[in-house]
Amino acid sequence: MRNVLFVLALSGIFAACANNSETSGDSSLMPAKHNQDTTVKEAPAKSVLTGKFNPAETEGFVKVPDEMATKPMYIQQDAFNAFVKMRDAAAKEKVNLYIVSGTRTFNDQKAIWERKWNALFLSNSDSLAVAKDILRFSSMPGTSRHHWGTDMDLVSVDPLYFENEVGKKTYNWLVIHASEYGFCQVYSSKEQFNRTGYSEEKWHWSYMPLSSEYLKAYLNTVSYSDLQGFIGDKLPTRLNIKEEFVKGIDTRCVN
């Protein structure tokens, strides 16, 4: 009997050692892991905050199913789970929600930014004026909330869409119900809510349980010296990008 107990005790020790070895490892390059309550326990990596990573190869990011998106894209798992619940609830009221833009990398944002820059620069050689024009609706590379995988553009990015019957119904549903699932329209009316930064975007919705923490981390860890490698990268300081644009969200969305 004593021999049997001794063998069982040794088995328990070996099992504990095996479990410890499986859970060890360096995750410093990965985004923060989240509990079921989606609380960010570790500071997000600067590479994720500035979009300099591959979401397809990064822990915590998932591919959005084709039927829920207009193109291949990734978002964070917690944001996706919340979106699915919101989408299902909206469908019951004949509102069709799908994602037209999810996570964007630094290079994705750079392509958007430089395409607009080159088009505008043909008729205006004032770099500061060109940048301000682009910043009405598009972020500088390295400053977009879309880098984080917490924010998504829903249904359409055309302001006129939300003036037709279907668009109004979609937007009104989101205004009433999105907060029930953790989402907020961070770029609301500038005039009505006295905020700075980008123009109103009725399509841009942020999953606040994660994005609130990512915003804090961004403001604390990303400096202007990190915003390099694109046309116009000498302008972020002159434009006060962090204060005027990164922080320029609806204060009702801030926890």
Q: What is the mean pLDDT of the chain?
A: 88
Looking at residue 255, its pLDDT comes to 64
Q: How confident is the model at residue 254 (pLDDT cuts 50, 70, 90)?
A: confident
Give the 3-state secondary structure of residue 251: helix
Contacts of 168 (CB under 8 A, 6+ apart): 162
37-87 pLDDT tens trace:
555 567 899 999 999 999 999 999 999 999 999 999 999 999 999 999 999
| Amino acid identity at 106 | F
pLDDT of residue 16 exceeding 60:
no
Q: How far apart are CA 83 and CA 79, in angstroms?
A: 6
Q: How far apart are CA 82 and CA 77, in angstroms?
A: 9
Helix 77-91 vs helix 165-177: crossing angle, to nearest 10: 120
Higher pLDDT, 5 or 81: 81
117: left (phi over 0), alpha (psi -120 to 50) or beta: alpha
- Decide if 248 contacts 196 (C-beta within 8 A): yes
pLDDT of residue 26 exceeding 70:
no
96-137 pLDDT tens trace:
999 999 999 999 999 999 999 999 999 999 999 999 999 999
pLDDT of residue 36 exceeding 90:
no
pLDDT of residue 242 exceeding 90:
yes
Looking at residue 27, its pLDDT comes to 33
Q: Where are the domains of the chain?
A: 42-253
Average the pLDDT over each of 8-22, 100-114, 136-150 and give the range with the smallest value: 8-22
- Decide if 44 contacts 32 (C-beta within 8 A): yes
Q: What letter would DSSP give residue 42?
A: S
> pTM to 2 decimals?
0.83
Helix ranges, the chain (H): 2-23, 46-49, 77-91, 106-121, 127-134, 165-177, 190-193, 208-221, 241
Higher pLDDT, 21 or 12: 12
- In this structure, the strands spanning 204-207 and 151-154 are antiparallel
CB atoms < 10 A from the CB of 208, how many?
25
Q: Token pair for residue 249?
A: 């969200």
Q: Please state, for a pLDDT cut of 70, what percent of the chain lies above it.
A: 84
Q: Which CATH number fits domain 42-253: 3.30.1380.10, 1.20.140.10, 3.50.50.60, 3.30.565.10?
A: 3.30.1380.10
Contacts of 199 (CB under 8 A, 6+ apart): 136, 137, 187, 190
Higher pLDDT, 21 or 145: 145
Cα angle 234-48-44, degrees, rounded to a multiple of 5? 115
Q: How confident is the model at residue 17 (pLDDT cuts 50, 70, 90)?
A: very low
Looking at residue 38, its pLDDT comes to 55
